[in-house]
Structure 1
């Protein structure tokens, strides 16, 4: 596993959409019920019930996306006591949920700080160049399209799942796919864990190709436990759709500047 920290690929314009997406994700996360527990490590039944009700309302659910039917009873956010002891109260939903719109709202929901910060790191490093190449409006539409494709792609292979699907990973995977198509030779500074974190500067095609390879392997169920909650199939679909949508832009894309001085994490030898 490598952790990207910076790419050597300057932009010509301020990535306002990327900044706005990052800000929106943080604001929604801080407004999500139960975020305090992710900071303190504490989690009570009331918080859990409130969070479950919130996700059932705003998260995308594969079964709802494919079959178009929303449940008749959902968690209300209240705590009650039944025959089996304390638990979350369920009842008729007090809202009308649109499964199609839930894909958009789910893109701004995250399950914890690690989930959020990991996604925003990738979006910050690679999103600015894709926005710079596509323009603000087209980039925003591209981002949403990749998110929708990722969610519906995952739902198609998990049509009967009632587990909520949340996170910006599918849309960001599309950004990574576009970056691989448009800037495969751009250098990316990464940290590689090997006793300590070693800084290396690698071509984007290695970094992103390795990332995609892991998602493809994990999506098949190899190397992950059955209890895993990461939607790897959504990452694979988003990445491929991002590549496809960016492909027509390859011809007019200027290559990134060739870095000088340091190469592959070590100082390059001068040529004579």
Structure 2
């Protein structure tokens, strides 16, 4: 798996929506998600775990709630207690009203850990500005949300009996990647390739994003979730395809990216070198 670090495809306008989405995802994870402070200091315990479970149950997408449109009778309350099998999280009737369709939107700003968050933000940072530049601010925001909803619903339909929360901006960002592949397939992307050390290479976007999509599709063939049960690969595939379909009509009017010459590791080389 290559790691993208930069694309050679300058944007004409400031990507304010992309910046806002980056800031919103980071803010929700650091300041609103229970247990993040404990994970940084290594002081996480049962109370933080129970608080996180209750938080996700309330704001994340749960496939069986979304498809069948009904709340479970018992949910984590965020409190701890001691039961027959020892200490654990207390469950009880939900003390709130949850709209499953709205939870698709809130779940787009939730992440399961620093690696999950930073990986998503990296892809959005590199590829989001050009799609926003092509679509415009408002249409890009609508596009992002639609791709996120498409990813969540496809995954929920394929796992309609699941009570596990689905979180992350991956489905919406996969839509951005799909649109980028359609609009800028020949744009050059600097990537780091792990081979003993991280080797910097400049590859066409169709190679980078196409291989990413194929990898997600292969993983999703195992039932939509990885063996560890933590990554919703099917949601990635659905978001990517949605992004490609929405961006396809924009292809004829999209100017090709510049093809800089003499670029060496991200800098312009001097003539004769």
Conserved? CA contact 2:226–2:232, under 8 Å: no
Conserved? CA contact 1:201–1:263, under 8 Å: no
Residues in 1 aligned to 2:103 and 2:182: alpha-carbon distance in whole angstroms: 29
1:116 maps to 117
Partner of 1:243: helix, strand, or coil? helix
CA root-mean-square deviation: 1.9
Shift of 1:38: 2.4
1:250 pairs with 2:251:
yes
Partner of 2:255: helix, strand, or coil? coil
Conserved? CA contact 1:130–1:178, under 8 Å: yes
Residues in 1 aligned to 2:39 and 2:245: alpha-carbon distance in whole angstroms: 37
TM-score if structure 2 supplies the norm length? 0.95
Shift of 1:143: 0.1
Residues in 2 aligned to 1:220 and 1:203: alpha-carbon distance in whole angstroms: 26
Structure 1 stretch displaced more, 179-188 or 71-80: 71-80
1:235 maps to 236
1:19 maps to 19
TM-score if structure 1 supplies the norm length? 0.95
Partner of 2:78: helix, strand, or coil? strand
Unaligned runs of 5+ in 2: none
2:155 maps to 154
* Compared CA separation, residues 225 and 117, structure 1 to 2 (3 A): closer
Partner of 1:87: helix, strand, or coil? strand
1:2 maps to 2
Structure 1 stretch displaced more, 40-49 or 107-116: 40-49
Shift of 1:257: 0.2
Instruction: Give the ranges of 4+ consecutive aligned residues of structure 1 lying more than 3 Å apart after TM superposition.
Output: 262-265
Residues in 1 aligned to 2:220 and 2:80: alpha-carbon distance in whole angstroms: 36
